[in-house]
Amino acid sequence: MRVTVLASGSGGNACVVEAGETRVLVDAGLSAKEIERRMEARGIRADSIAALFITHEHNDHASGAPVFVRRWDCPVYATAGTAAAIGLEGDLFTPYVRVHPSRDARVGALGFRAFATPHDAAESVAYAFESDDARLVIASDLGRAEEAFVDFLRHATTLMVEMNHDEDMLRDGPYTWPLKKRISGGFGHLSNAQSAGAMFRALGPRLRRIVATHLSRTNNTPAIVHAMLTRLVERSGSNVPFSIADQIAGLEAFEA
Ligand SMILES: [Zn+2]
Ligand SMILES: [Zn+2]
């Protein structure tokens, strides 16, 4: 399974996942034009996308979806709540496939399963994709990491998990009190520590890569995330490589 991150962060998220002949886009949080531009720069043809998976309706995940799917005639995969929130209900012209959390399903060579996430959205999910021996988990925008989430991360070969904020930077930073409360609350975003804690508990022998995603540009730095992941890998006694997805540069293609 091959993964290419086109963008990651509150300025927009989009990621291409491919296995065999099947290629899907996960989230479309940039304009369709910008997504197409970034795909083209990486040699990915937009007309080869078999499905667009949406995690939830927030702009940084779905703003480019309506234009992208109409232009490339690819179906949207989303939960009923997300589909309604992005206005797909009663839209006769956009093919839509309903995703049921915790149920296994498939698009071509990619098996997938959604996990319901605690976030201030209608019906947000994380996704796990499977093909051959690879299991890729893409999980961002969740306020807390409970045991069921740790279970969802288990047996992954690649974990792409949100490391949104450093708790001290958020507390001492420029955001308003209500916004700080929203982000750090149970329906907001995972801090570096919450995310690292969940990944540490889920860590198993199959894991071959960690990718930190959705870093806040105001309340986090790649250096802090790098230090935390270094500690995580050291403490686990494994040698799992990790990388950090960037808002502008995304992340170069890698095998999941
Ligand atoms: Zn987001
Ligand atoms: Zn969100």
pLDDT (tens digit per residue) in 79-136: 999 999 999 877 877 889 999 999 999 999 999 999 999 999 999 999 999 999 999 9
Q: How many Å lie between the centroid of ligand 1 and the Cα of residue 148? A: 21
Q: Cα(61) to centroid of ligand 1, in Å? A: 6
Residue 149 contacts by C-beta under 8 Å, 6 or more apart in sequence?
Answer: 115, 117, 126, 139, 142, 198
Reported as a single tens digit per residue, the pLDDT across 157-197 is 999 999 999 999 999 999 999 999 999 999 999 999 999 99
Where do we find the tokens 């963008």? 7
CATH fold label, 2-255 = Metallo-beta-lactamase; Chain A (3.60.15)
Alpha-carbon Rg for the chain, nearest whole angstrom, is 17
Average pLDDT, stretch 139-155?
Answer: 98
Q: CA dist 29 to 9, 55, 70, 193, Å? A: 9, 10, 15, 25
Find out whether 19 and 67 touch, Cβ atoms under 8 Å: no
**Dihedral pair phi/psi, residue 59, rounded to 5°:** -50, -40
Query: What is the whole-number distance in angstroms between the Cα of residue 189 and the centre of ligand 2?
Result: 8
User: Exposed, middle or buried, 173 (CB in 10 Å: 0-12/13-18/19+)?
Assistant: middle
Q: How far is ligand 1, taken at its centre, from the CA of residue 176, in Å?
A: 18
- The three-state secondary structure class of 66 is helix
CA distances, 124 to each of 67, 84, 201 (Å):
21, 12, 23
Q: State the distance from the centre of ligand 1 to the C-alpha of 58, rounded, in angstroms.
A: 7
How far apart are alpha carbons 209 and 226 in whole angstroms?
14
What is the reported pTM?
A: 0.97
Residue type, 76: V
How far away, in angstroms, is 141 Cα from ligand 1 center? 5
What's the pLDDT score for residue 22?
Answer: 98
**Which listed ligand is nearest to 119 at the C-alpha?**
2
Distances, alpha carbon 211 to alpha carbons 3, 75, 199, 219, 244, in Å: 11, 27, 11, 18, 6
Q: What is the pLDDT of residues 196-238, one digit of tens each?
A: 999 999 999 999 999 999 999 999 999 999 999 999 999 999 8
Pairing mode, strands 110-116 and 105-107: antiparallel
